[in-house]
Structures are given as C-alpha cells and as structure tokens.
Amino acid sequence: MPTPLPFPQDQLVAAISDHMDAVAKVVNWSIVLATVFWWAGVQGEAVIETQGLTIKREHALFVACGFFVFVNFYALDVFYRIGEILRNTEDQRFKEAATNLALHPWFANPFAFFDRSRISALMTGKGYGLLIIAWWYGNSSMLALTSDQFAPLALLMQGVFLAVGFASMGTIQRVQSIVYRRFAEIEPEVGSALKRVAPIRFLMTILGIGIGGIVAFGTQVLIFQ
C-alpha cells in the first residue's frame, strides 16, 4: 500500500463523519422528492409542486432524472473521498477513522458495524440493501412520470441513471475493500469479524434488489394498466 500523504490526521478522522453526514442528508432528501414525483406520476397530476417549485408534467421527467443523476454522482464523489481519506489515515489512527465510519447513525449506512453477533450483523448489513431500494425508488418515480417507458429518450435517461448508480455502488464496495485490507494488516481480529458479516451484507443486497424490483413492477402496473 502506498505511504499515506502527510495530511493532519485529526482532520482526516473528523472528515469521515462530516462526509457521512453530507451524503446522508442528500440521499434522505432524494427519497422525499422521489415520493413526491412518484405520487404525482401515479395520480396523473398535470402540475407538480414541491419545495416551492411548480413543474409541469411534461418537464417533470427531465427534472427528476437530472436530480437523481446528481444525487448518484454526489454519492459517488463522497464515497470515493471517504476511500481516499481512509487510505491516507495512518495505521495508528485508522481504527478511530473506521469506527467513525462504522458507528455513524445514518439508518442506511452501508458501512455500519456494531458487533459480530447474528442480530447485529442483520442490523448492520441492511444499509447497502436500503440504498439499492432507494435507487429503485428513484427509478420508479421517473417511470411514473413517463407515458412511454420504451421511448428512446426515456431509455437513455434511465440508462444514464443506471450507469451512475452502478458507479456509486462501486465506490461503496471500494471503501469496504479498503477497510478489510487495512484491518487485515493492522488488526486481523477485527478484519476477520468484518468479513464474517459479508454474507449477511450480500443477502441484504439480494433482498434490496428484489424489493426494489417489486416496487418498479408495481409502478408499471399502476401506470400502464
């Protein structure tokens, strides 16, 4: 592993919580806005009003897609930064930085870890699955705003949303890989405990994909029945 850059370690450790606070707020607000768009689409409203904005239905798909692509790109950027912060944290302070990441109280924290027990593994493994459901929910809200889901423009917009979403999820996996690798080097017992939670995280990922797919299918039934 490359030698960490000589950044002030106190600032690096504190930055973990700051970055998690920031991405949590943006993602949480995106879920609220997705609900507004989804409901307006399902109800067939001609005008959508939210956060003081008035959006005509024919423009809503573009607004929603632009917003959700931004949210995914923002998450990608923040998670990438977290990975770089962890890479540049010295061994003596790494456990402190990783603890800030694992114990951050965000309900959908994909890096949560409290204990090695099965119940704790279930509670801490849910974050990644919840983010996948949130992605599907955003996709479903865009689907609810289109009159033809197979129109070239609709397919292009969903394709962009999918690509950025996959990339942002990839940065989450990168952070987890960095945490596993660093702990394997400096504190193998913790690294081993983290890896034992991996199957639960995988199960929650599959569950998130399944639930998200059901939401998307249900939206199609409501819109195109």
Find out whether 23 and 134 touch, Cβ atoms under 8 Å: no
Find out whether 219 and 146 touch, Cβ atoms under 8 Å: no
What is the helix (H) or strand (E) element at residue 88, kind and residue range?
A: none
Rounded to a whole number, what is the distance in angstroms from the first to the last CA of the chain? 55
- So where are the chain's domains? 9-224
Cα-Cα-Cα-Cα dihedral sign, residues 58, 61, 62, 63: positive
Average per-residue pLDDT in the chain? 86
- Chain segment 33-82, per-residue pLDDT in tens: 899 888 888 887 777 776 677 777 777 888 888 889 999 999 999 999 99
Name the pLDDT band for 223 (thresholds 50, 70, 90). confident
Measure the CA–CA gap between 216 and 195, rounded to whole angstroms: 32
